[in-house]
Structure 1
Amino acid sequence: MPSMKLDHLGGLTAEQFLEEYWQKKPLLIRQAFPGFGDVMSPDELAGLACEEDAQSRLVLENSGKWQVENGPFEEARFASLPKKGWSLLVQGVNHFLEDGQELLGKFDFIPTARLDDLMVSYAPDGGGVGPHFDSYDVFLLQGYGQRTWRVSEQQDLELVEGAPLRILKRFDTLDEWLLEPGDMLYLPPRLAHWGIAVGPCMTWSVGFRAPSAQELGSQFLGYMQEHMKLEGIYADPDLELQLHPAEISDQMVDKVEAMLNAIRWNKADIASFLGEYLTEPKSHIVFDPPRRMTLAKFREQFAKKDLRLDLRSQMLTRENQVFMNGEKVSVEGGLDLLRTLADHRMLPASDALPDALVELLWPWYSAGYLHFD
């Protein structure tokens, strides 16, 4: 509720946070999540970085030279790392860790459509990824250990030439804070910042999507290409003799312009595109279908057990449309229940669901998008 004061926002209401801080200025919250440091160990993070379906990176720095290695990694790689000068980063930890998904639920005052994922990083003493800026909003929650964060309002965003990361060439510190386990720092987009481990530490980053206009335009045109159908073929019964046969004439340009002007889109097209685009699983994500279950057995199980979204599933709604992992479905009944599933990532057990809703949920369960508790 907008009027509720949230401890993990330092006693601010969600409405106050959005009005005063979101995309405007940083906010430090001491003990936003007390006792958070023991959620995951460095060894568990390293183990996750060895998994094929996890996105992981090692960032190494030596005498101002930066290097990036992409996972999955062999266990032996971690044994050969130096004592300092590196960071391990793993994206999409919420796809593997129930606690990670529950953590993301604490930020539901931001629309799910804006949420990207949960990244967890580990660094030995002095480690980090250097001074940089991001194009998206981020909440930096300190887990195990301590990390110093420096921020700058500098307009000079010149980057180190040839670096594999967006490392700032110069950094002018405006503020500096030492974060303890459970402390959290919110940073708006394009604010220069620099995190430095004080002893070995882990940081949990809740990031939000901020696609560029170029990316949205390219993806939308691809969507339109798949969904539009233009009638007719090029015809020129009024063709005129040309002095230069190899010249593209104004007559031809005008005819093609008239044909392409038939391309139209409206708000409904944009909404459908966003629903499919924002829920489309990343290329490395693979779902694990359960053992085959008949529709009757599925209904029987649902009468006893809650149904939950798989940790990797993405679900959004708009009006009578439901988007699940890049697929769109228009529904006539049961919309409130589907919104509950999308909002809370679970649907309580029930023996009174409409047949149409059960018949919709069953193939999603069969595809591995849903699981019973």
Structure 2
Amino acid sequence: MKLAHFDAGLFLNGYWQKRPLLIRNPWDVWRNPLEPDELAGLACEEGVEARLVTRDGDRLAMESGPLPEARFGELGDGPWTLLVQAVDHHASDVAALIEPFRFVPDWRIDDVMVSYATDGGGVGPHYDQYDVFLVQGLGRRRWRVGPRCDAATPLVPHEDLRLIGDFEATGDWILEPGDILYVPPGFAHDGIAVGDDCMTYSIGFRAPSRAELVEGWCGHQADALAEDDRYADPDLTIQAHPGEIAAPALDRLHAMVMEALSDRDAFARWFGLHASQPKYAEADWRPEEPIGRQEVRALLAERVALVRNPASRFAFIRQREDAILLFVDGHCFDCAGDAASLAEQLCAGPALTVDPALAASPAVLALIAALIDQGSLAFDDGE
């Protein structure tokens, strides 16, 4: 599926992280990529993050998965909502929904959450810390969008859900299949199913907090520092008051810290490792035995396609024209020449048929073998 009637450049300039936008069915042809029964089946599986939200009057209750199959038969006629995270890791047609939104860099992509709701079902008015495209798959959903919220916004006391207490809508729309609502970070929103068999696909984009970056980068650098790298003041002189932490000492202490944190190249390498850590690592594709270079060469010669583990994260940082750092699932690979070209191609999409001529490159064979052995890549066996 493609976005046939959508200007990505105009959207980024006028709406991205600025204000919500309703996009009426921009697809060339819309087709719902997942059946409700398939979503329910995923919610029953171990290792799949799922939530069931039921409504009793004005009271919402949440249950966490995996859910017993019999639970769905007990729900009755009341409003309820099923939400399943990272469905793109389990269903290729759902994963394909990400492709039209790759005008946003891949490292920002989180996952595709899918929700199913009966008439009146929803999770209440709330706000998120990430951008999201809400794609209506089946049925109809009424979305109300409110003002931007922050940590000072009053919330309703609830042990599981972060619900906004005094929600006032500034926009109100009913979405039909194929319609999309974009909601930037912090904007209040509330979606309620209008009729049964309401399915919504939430394509979410992550943004690291400053606290997360500072904690991660500082911890990484601290782990690498030598124990004997300490404060020193060989030019110490007598100061007026022994209780004062004097300006020269503060300057030197501050410089020690900033020097340890200011290496941009080291930060880039760390951030690539950090950003490529998989969120859900349950899809273990590691082979029972390491793959040999000869086997890799033979399969490339047969033009067998390589496919990426849908739970894996691929990204790269360019160092120079013919050299990049490839980051995959928290591992870094220094790539140059043919290996760099292959690495870029691997980051371009979920599958790749490699030029058989690259099989003559030891660096290419080594890279492919390493990615297969760590479970990030596999040769397509047709299943």
Q: Which moved more, 1:153-162 or 1:50-59?
A: 153-162
**Matched-pair contact (CA < 8 Å) for 1:92–1:119:** yes
Shift of 1:28: 1.5
Shift of 1:286: 4.2
Shift of 1:262: 6.0
**1:159 and 2:155 equivalent?**
yes
Distance 2:366 2:304 in 1: 17
Structure 1 residue runs of 4 or more that deviate by more than 6 Å after TM superposition: 233-237, 248-251
- Residue of structure 1 in register with 2:207 after alignment: 210
**1:24 and 2:23 equivalent?**
no
CA RMSD of aligned residues (A): 2.8
- Residue of structure 1 in register with 2:295 after alignment: 297
- Residue of structure 2 in register with 1:43 after alignment: 37
Query: Which of the residues 313, 328, 337 maps onto 1:324?
Result: 328
Matched letter for residue 267 of structure 1: R
Shift of 1:261: 6.7
- Can you give the 5+ residue segments of structure 2 that lack an aligned partner in the other structure? 235-242, 319-323
| Matching of residues 248-263 of structure 1 within 5 Å | 257=253, 263=260
- Residue of structure 2 in register with 1:311 after alignment: 310
**1:366 and 2:373 equivalent?**
yes
| Matching of residues 62-81 of structure 1 within 5 Å | 62-81=56-75
- Give the number of aligned pairs: 359
Distance 1:113 1:261 in 2: 27
**Matched-pair contact (CA < 8 Å) for 1:56–1:90:** yes
Cα deviation code 1:54-101 (max 9, x no counterpart)? 111112232333322221121122222242232111111111111122
Matched letter for residue 309 of structure 1: R
Matched letter for residue 196 of structure 1: I
Percent identity, please. Answer: 39
Matched letter for residue 162 of structure 2: R
Shift of 1:236: 11
SS at match of 2:193: strand
- Residue of structure 1 in register with 2:168 after alignment: 172
Matched letter for residue 179 of structure 1: L
Shift of 1:355: 1.5
- Residue of structure 1 in register with 2:131 after alignment: 137
Q: Which moved more, 1:100-109 or 1:27-36?
A: 27-36
- Residue of structure 1 in register with 2:5 after alignment: 11
Matched letter for residue 110 of structure 1: V
Distance 2:213 2:64 in 1: 26
Query: Which of the residues 331, 337, 344 maps onto 1:333?
Result: 337
- Can you give the 5+ residue segments of structure 1 that lack an aligned partner in the other structure? 1-5, 238-247
- Residue of structure 2 in register with 1:92 after alignment: 86
Matched letter for residue 122 of structure 1: Y
Shift of 1:7: 6.4
Query: Which of the residues 184, 191, 203 maps onto 1:188?
Result: 184
- Residue of structure 1 in register with 2:267 after alignment: 270
Matched letter for residue 180 of structure 1: E
Distance 1:7 1:362 in 2: 33
Q: Which moved more, 1:18-27 or 1:343-352?
A: 343-352
Distance 2:225 2:350 in 1: 33
Shift of 1:17: 1.0
**Matched-pair contact (CA < 8 Å) for 2:140–2:195:** yes
Residue 65 and residue 352 in structure 1: after superposition, are their counterparts in 2 closer, same or farther (change >3 A)? Answer: same
Distance 1:270 1:124 in 2: 47
Q: Which moved more, 1:116-125 or 1:168-177?
A: 168-177
- Residue of structure 1 in register with 2:278 after alignment: 281
Matched letter for residue 297 of structure 1: E
Matched letter for residue 327 of structure 1: H
SS at match of 1:210: coil
Cα deviation code 1:94-113 (max 9, x no counterpart)? 11111122111111100011
Residue 342 and residue 228 in structure 1: after superposition, are their counterparts in 2 closer, same or farther (change >3 A)? Answer: farther
Shift of 1:291: 5.2
Shift of 1:53: 2.1
Q: Which moved more, 1:88-97 or 1:224-233?
A: 224-233
Shift of 1:260: 5.6
Matched letter for residue 58 of structure 2: G
Distance 2:188 2:229 in 1: 53
**Matched-pair contact (CA < 8 Å) for 1:230–1:263:** no
Q: Which moved more, 1:317-326 or 1:85-94?
A: 85-94
Distance 1:329 1:154 in 2: 41
Distance 1:92 1:159 in 2: 27
